[in-house]
Structure 1
Amino acid sequence: MVPHLRTALTGALSDIEHKMLAATPMIERWFRMEWQEHTPPFYSSVDLRNAGFKLAPVDTNLFPGGFNNLAEEMFPLATQAAMAAIEKYCPDARNLLIIPELHTRNPFYLQNVAQLSKIMRLTGLNVRLGSLSKDITTPTAINLPNGETLTLEPLERNGRRLTLDGGRFDPCTILLNNDLSAGQPTILENIKEQFLLPPLHAGWTVRRKSTHFKAYDDVAKKFSKALGTDPWLINPYHAHASNINFNERTGEDELAHTVEVLLKKITKKYKEYGITDKPFLIVKADAGTYGMGIMTVRSPDDVKDLNRKQRNKMAVVKDGLEVHDVLIQEGVPTIETLHNSTAEPVVYMIDRYVVGGFYRINGERGVDENLNSAGMHFETMPFIKESERRADDLGLLHNRFYPYGVVGRLAMLAASIELEKTDPNPENQIG
């Protein structure tokens, strides 16, 4: 279901946490019914914000790159989930090809690739790494800080299949750990005889955050109706603005108007719940990741008064992808801190299962700012020991991480629906 992990919060449960914990049987059945209709992404990670008065996802990643931040105790869970995922596509699979990002100089990312490879090897698969880099022309060993070694090999295209080593390594399944921000490589197109997971349209060449959160709107409404609560408590309001050029200052008025409308909408909700905080928004590139192209906004003037440095920061994101469309998202403050630094939980999933989590921590950022920026680091959420479990007034041992796992899975379900709606070949969906 959801592992019992240690969270930063140890005080009284919030109303939404109480509701979810009390409704655990109903929630698990609700998810079982949903997974009969939808296929989860192979893997995903969800950034959450717990404001106390609401618990909501703020980003969903379909190419998670932080498996190195999970506790070692998570490997059995992750391995079982990976086995379930692979069996859907290729029950007799022997070989798995992983295609990573081009970050051969980023040791943290490469440690993630090593951990992901280890999880997949534990399922009984032969795992090798194929690189999209033109610089990788022969098998290339890369030494990691922990003493491990990764070997990247050049990809080969044989008809409609991808192989390595002159065709001697011919996988049934190809696992992308590359979000395709730089575009869709020709070598990955029109692969018909192997399963490419996630599919190409999950990459940022096609995918848009606004599409994901529209799908999440529907999921949140349906789930909240079953739970008997307000969908806003698990869903940040959001809007979309297009045809923007930050450097040339075009689309600025439309963006400022959207900001104004959304702030008024949130203010009304704050009054309904007696929240005295001042609402804020996060404006982010509609495509792309790595915390780039993001700013905090508290008034319409904030998007008109950007200086040159701020405009340059918003204009281009990872791999030189230009920003012309943005998601304007309700800012959810975080009440969680670790070591006197601002923190937010990240939930990791393989198939439909929660396999672990960790905290993103940034001592240089406030509770209303993006933490995925310079100064951040990560801290593992370990399993709760039996001696550390606390009972409530009824003597029940509640898993405080459980609500995080619920919201993470809701975002994963939204990603499933999002991929179904944007799939250019719907007949490829696996039931």
Structure 2
Amino acid sequence: MVPHLITALTGPINELEQRILESMPAIERWFRLEWMEHTPPFYCSVDLRNAGFKLAPVDTNLFPGGFNNLTPEMLPLAVQAAMAAIEKICPEAKNLLLIPEKHTRNTFYLTNVQRLMQIFTLAGLNVRLGALDPEVTAPTQLPLPDGSELTLEPLLRTRGRLGLKDFDPCTILLNNDLSAGTPEVLQNLHEQYLLPPLHAGWTVRRKSLHFKSYEEVAKKFAKLLGMDPWLINPMYAQCGQVSFSEPGGLECVQGNVDALLTKIRRKYKEYGINEKPFVVVKADNGTYGMGIMTVRDPKELEDINRRTRNKMSVVKDGQAVTEVIIQEGVVTHEQVNAAVAEPVVYMIDRYVVGGFYRVHAERGVDENLNSPGAGFVPLAFEPSPQLPRPGEKPGASAPNRFYMYGVIGRLAMLAAAYELEATDPNAEIYE
């Protein structure tokens, strides 16, 4: 199924698409030079929003689930990228230990784990699953929808190494975002490669720092293309002391919402955009679409109901929300089967390996789609979406549109590389 893009065929997005296609050699050279200086995250996924007048990342996940939503045709790309990533890190690798999320009864998530195991097995590694859950004390079978099973095994820690019984891995791949904190069993592993590093987990990571890094990347990229960075960059603000349960706990949020809406209105006026501006308030650390609300007027924060306060107070694993990012809202003007959709781009190492549309029939163009009821439509373009077609009219070619998504996705991945360098606790050792 080819998703139907209802984005208007005129305006900045098509100008941006045309400029990106015309500048492809310069863009790819720029990325190559950046990757000589910076190490990409091992893998990541990026949620994009295409407003027709603006295309921007709104979230970057460094522990991506959802690999099961990529089409089988994209598997060779993922395997090649995985081979390249492993070769750089541990060329002699034989064994890979994959550590999934604790809530491993979710069959959609387990199918993602199955796909990850398939990718790294085809990349030439022995792959086994280790459980962070201390209640897993013996090999445990987890049934999958296709009738097969995954075997989850208890972790075995010996001095500076982590493995399983009779299994000593060179590399440990986390598919657990460490929202609940960093388990002791993962600390001080000096003899093995832990990917992504511990400081990529939500114990340390903050969305505001990521978007600060992205702002820097977007400015560099916009200078290369001679364009306004706002067309690819969502403005943001951050509040470090908030409480959704106490009176006056949202004063900082209200002030920043007001200021950000004023900035957005100014930009809309500059570009002649008739949309109603809005912002998205999110927990500064966290994932799974939790702790998110859309605000169109600062007054809305004065009388939010108890249900919304409770929803915003905690994120995954019951972590209290005390810091938020206020992000410029980007509407999505893409639809699949008359339902609102947003593209999600997947990368391993520095390579785009695929993507899909997150679709939600019950959500509006200015709402969070990463919520219960969302569906996924693979980007199953014919022919391959990875190869752009220079010379075609903007908006006329799905591969060209997907190439543009891949460029913006890689900008977010580069921002994540900047971000991880800035928060690396061992950075000073090497300076």
What SS does the aligned partner of 1:327 have? strand
The residue number in structure 1 matching 2:142 is: 142
- Residues 140 and 93 (structure 1 numbering): CA distance in 2 closer, same or farther, change over 3 Å? same
- Residues 393 and 272 (structure 1 numbering): CA distance in 2 closer, same or farther, change over 3 Å? closer
1:7 touches 1:400 (CA, 8 Å); kept in 2?
A: no
2:341 touches 2:357 (CA, 8 Å); kept in 1?
A: yes
2:218 touches 2:229 (CA, 8 Å); kept in 1?
A: yes
CA distance in 2 between counterparts of 1:215 and 1:117 reads 31
The residue number in structure 1 matching 2:110 is: 110
The residue number in structure 2 matching 1:237 is: 235
Instruction: Give how far 1:377 is off.
Output: 1.1
Q: 2:208 aligns with which of 207, 210, 220?
A: 210
Instruction: Give how far 1:385 is off.
Output: 2.6
The residue number in structure 1 matching 2:411 is: 410
The residue number in structure 1 matching 2:61 is: 61
- Residues 249 and 16 (structure 1 numbering): CA distance in 2 closer, same or farther, change over 3 Å? farther
CA distance in 2 between counterparts of 1:203 and 1:283 reads 20
2:52 touches 2:333 (CA, 8 Å); kept in 1?
A: yes
Same amino acid, percent of matched pairs: 64
2:53 touches 2:231 (CA, 8 Å); kept in 1?
A: yes
- Residues 358 and 428 (structure 1 numbering): CA distance in 2 closer, same or farther, change over 3 Å? farther
Which stretches of structure 1, 4 residues or more, deviate above 4 A after TM superposition?
none
2:239 is the alignment partner of 1:264: no
Bigger drift between 398-407 and 325-334 goes to 398-407
Instruction: Give how far 1:21 is off.
Output: 1.4
Instruction: Give how far 1:251 is off.
Output: 3.0
What SS does the aligned partner of 2:401 have? coil
What SS does the aligned partner of 2:49 have? strand
The residue number in structure 2 matching 1:356 is: 354
2:307 is the alignment partner of 1:309: yes
CA distance in 1 between counterparts of 2:3 and 2:415 reads 25
Matched residue type, 1:92: E
What SS does the aligned partner of 1:47 have? strand
CA distance in 2 between counterparts of 1:417 and 1:69 reads 28
The residue number in structure 1 matching 2:172 is: 174
CA distance in 2 between counterparts of 1:6 and 1:353 reads 23
1:256 touches 1:300 (CA, 8 Å); kept in 2?
A: yes
1:348 touches 1:355 (CA, 8 Å); kept in 2?
A: yes
- Residues 310 and 148 (structure 1 numbering): CA distance in 2 closer, same or farther, change over 3 Å? same
CA distance in 1 between counterparts of 2:383 and 2:89 reads 36
What SS does the aligned partner of 2:282 have? strand
Q: 2:195 aligns with which of 164, 178, 197?
A: 197
Bigger drift between 374-383 and 352-361 goes to 374-383
Where do 1:198-347 residues align within 5 Å? 198-347=196-345
Structure 1 gap ranges (5+): none
What SS does the aligned partner of 1:409 have? helix
The residue number in structure 1 matching 2:33 is: 33
CA distance in 1 between counterparts of 2:384 and 2:359 reads 26
The residue number in structure 1 matching 2:131 is: 131
1:242 touches 1:251 (CA, 8 Å); kept in 2?
A: no
The residue number in structure 2 matching 1:97 is: 97
Instruction: Give how far 1:375 is off.
Output: 1.3
What SS does the aligned partner of 2:410 have? helix
Matched residue type, 2:339: S
Question: So what's the TM-score if we normalise by structure 2?
Answer: 0.94
The residue number in structure 1 matching 2:73 is: 73
What SS does the aligned partner of 2:5 have? coil
Alignment RMSD (CA, Å): 1.9
CA distance in 2 between counterparts of 1:182 and 1:344 reads 28
CA distance in 1 between counterparts of 2:178 and 2:412 reads 21
CA distance in 1 between counterparts of 2:381 and 2:95 reads 32
2:9 is the alignment partner of 1:9: no
2:97 touches 2:172 (CA, 8 Å); kept in 1?
A: yes
Deviations 1:9-39 (A, max 9, x none): 2763622111111111111111001000000
1:96 touches 1:171 (CA, 8 Å); kept in 2?
A: yes
Matched residue type, 2:311: K
1:155 touches 1:163 (CA, 8 Å); kept in 2?
A: yes
Instruction: Give how far 1:249 is off.
Output: 3.2
CA distance in 2 between counterparts of 1:210 and 1:381 reads 29
CA distance in 1 between counterparts of 2:302 and 2:358 reads 30
Aligned length: 421
Question: So what's the TM-score if we normalise by structure 1?
Answer: 0.94
Instruction: Give how far 1:151 is off.
Output: 0.3
CA distance in 2 between counterparts of 1:131 and 1:24 reads 43
Instruction: Give how far 1:333 is off.
Output: 0.2
CA distance in 2 between counterparts of 1:306 and 1:54 reads 29
CA distance in 1 between counterparts of 2:365 and 2:17 reads 20
CA distance in 2 between counterparts of 1:114 and 1:75 reads 13
Instruction: Give how far 1:427 is off.
Output: 6.9
Deviations 1:170-203 (A, max 9, x none): 0000000000001100000010000000000000
What SS does the aligned partner of 2:102 have? coil
Bigger drift between 223-232 and 141-150 goes to 141-150
1:7 touches 1:401 (CA, 8 Å); kept in 2?
A: no
Deviations 1:100-158 (A, max 9, x none): 00122100000000000000000110000000012211011111011221000000100
2:67 touches 2:116 (CA, 8 Å); kept in 1?
A: yes
What SS does the aligned partner of 1:74 have? helix
What SS does the aligned partner of 1:36 have? helix
